[in-house]
Amino acid sequence: MNHNEIDTGLLRAYLDGETDAARAAAVSEHLQSCVNCQAEIKSLEANASGIREAFDGLPQTASQLGSAWVALKGRLPQPAGSYRPLWPMRRSWSLAGAGALAAVVALLFTLAPVRAWAQRFLAIFRVEQFTVLELNPDAMKTRGLDNDAFFNQAVSRMISNEVTVTEPPRQPEPVADAGIASKLAGFPVQLLAGERPETLLFRSGISAQMKLDRDRMQSILDEAGRNDIRIPESVDRATIAVHIPAGITALYGNCGDMAQRMQGKGEEKPGEPRNRPDESCISLIELRSPSVTAPRQVDPAEVAQVALQFFGMNASEAASFTQTVDWSTTLVLPVMEGATSYEKIPVNGNDGVLLRPKNGREKSRYSLLWVDRGVVYDLNGTGDDTAARNLAAQLE
């Protein structure tokens, strides 16, 4: 090959083994005798390997194909008429008996912390930690909106008009083992070592979105006599999307008819006693962190501040609590003062929150929540704190 036929591009392709065999042989032969080309290829190689090394030091993703597909599927445009309003979805959550976690997830709609981000829509909230907010029942009664029938009806109507479910929930289905559950859920499912769950259920993901109409929300508040709560202008016409990824529920011990009820079977019949779980029942819920997306102009702290006022905080209490929380990663668990006790405890190297009813026959039941590598865990059982922690340590 003539020197003039060899250019930088050919040498670069030769270095990468991206030329055909005949050209590679010709370049190789030419390099034996051409000092200039030898110098150039050496320089190209030094540059390329330096860059390759630098790029190899860049972060790598742990994205999971399975869960990413499930998440995307939920966002694909559906044929007209396939949307369902939110309320049936919420009912199916409670049927699913997902306990604390279902309640927590439902609260995402009101306590959704969202953060402005560079792109128009990006995942901006993922649960990485929990914090507990103790609500005062008296303040809630006088200042909160929970018991306001007019407000609740108006909000229900608005939600059923404005919320579209893009990925409706399906009935949970039994799966054979952790391997299959992991494949379906898109993350490595952990179960109690040495114990075989009585029931292992897979629950599909849920996605919904809502376009916010600030004026309408404000007028509902004003009519409810709460013009002290101001909906931030930044939320107007914003589309907020919530995605609750697929997950699993494992039941151990005698959990009565819980599994049937979760699958929408075994409806309670009047006069017939319910087959209730006993003290041996342990339920374990796992799912990848739910996420909320919103347009960049929406300020999570502003939204949180309004949501806190719904629970009976006054504006200045709400403002000061708002400052203590990283709203892009923290899910706030509201608990009623005097009704629920809570404490922070370490769980397998993560910060967990242990919730427990203070009174009544359920007071020996606990709910232990924590987040580990992007997966939210909710372990429910009967016993003391050590029992809860020991059980969590058995997960593998």
Partner 1 sequence: MSMAGRWAEAEFEAIFRAHFERMARVARRVLRSDAEAEEVCSEAFLRLYRSGPGALEAGMVGGWLYRTVTRAAIDILRRNRRRGVEEDVDSSAGAAGGSEAEDPMTRVLRAERIAQVRSTLAEMKREKAQMLLLRHSGLSYREVAEAMNLRAASVGTLLARAEAEFGAIYRKRERRGNSEPSAHPFRPLARVGKDGAPP
* Residues in Cβ contact with 293 at an 8 Å cutoff, skipping those fewer than 6 apart: 114, 121, 122, 123, 124, 125, 240, 241, 243
CA 58 to each of CA 1, 32, 47, 55: distance values in angstroms, whole numbers, following the listed order: 39, 36, 17, 5
Please identify, among the stretches 59-67, 135-143, 245-253, 271-279, the one whose residues bind partner 1 according to the rule CB under 8 A: 59-67
DSSP symbol at 339: T
76 binds partner 1 (CB under 8 A): yes
Q: How far is the CB of 346 from partner 1 (least distance, A)?
A: 16
Q: How far is the CB of 107 from partner 1 (least distance, A)?
A: 21
47 binds partner 1 (CB under 8 A): yes
Q: How far is the CB of 67 from partner 1 (least distance, A)?
A: 9
C-alpha span between 13 and 174 (Å, rounded): 53
CA angle in degrees (0–180, nearest 5) for 300-304-306: 125
62 binds partner 1 (CB under 8 A): yes
Alpha helices in 96-229 (DSSP H): 99-111, 137-143, 149-162, 178-185, 214-223
65 binds partner 1 (CB under 8 A): yes
In the shown chain, the binding pattern of residues 246 to 285 toward partner 1, with x for contact by CB under 8 A and - for none, equals ----------------------------------------
20 binds partner 1 (CB under 8 A): no
63 binds partner 1 (CB under 8 A): yes
CA 318 to each of CA 160, 229, 324: distance values in angstroms, whole numbers, following the listed order: 28, 11, 10
2 binds partner 1 (CB under 8 A): no
54 binds partner 1 (CB under 8 A): yes
C-alpha span between 195 and 207 (Å, rounded): 33
Q: Which is nearer to partner 1, 64 or 305 (CB)?
A: 64
Residues 113-152 contacting partner 1, CB under 8 A: 118-119, 121-123, 126
Please identify, among the stretches 36-44, 81-89, 173-181, 298-306, the one whose residues bind partner 1 according to the rule CB under 8 A: 36-44
C-alpha span between 10 and 6 (Å, rounded): 6
Of 258, 257, 245, the residue nearest 284 (C-alpha): 258
DSSP symbol at 111: H
Please identify, among the stretches 41-49, 105-113, 159-167, 319-327, the one whose residues bind partner 1 according to the rule CB under 8 A: 41-49
Please identify, among the stretches 10-18, 161-169, 170-178, 334-342, the one whose residues bind partner 1 according to the rule CB under 8 A: 10-18
**Separation of CA 95 from chain center:** 20
Residues 350-389 contacting partner 1, CB under 8 A: none
Q: Which is nearer to partner 1, 292 or 354 (CB)?
A: 292
C-alpha span between 373 and 347 (Å, rounded): 13
Strand order in the sheet with 291-294: 122-126, 291-294, 239-244, 206-211, 163-167
Which residues here bind partner 1, judged by CB under 8 A? 7-14, 16, 18, 36, 39-40, 42-44, 46-63, 65, 68-69, 71-73, 75-77, 118-119, 121-123, 126, 291, 293
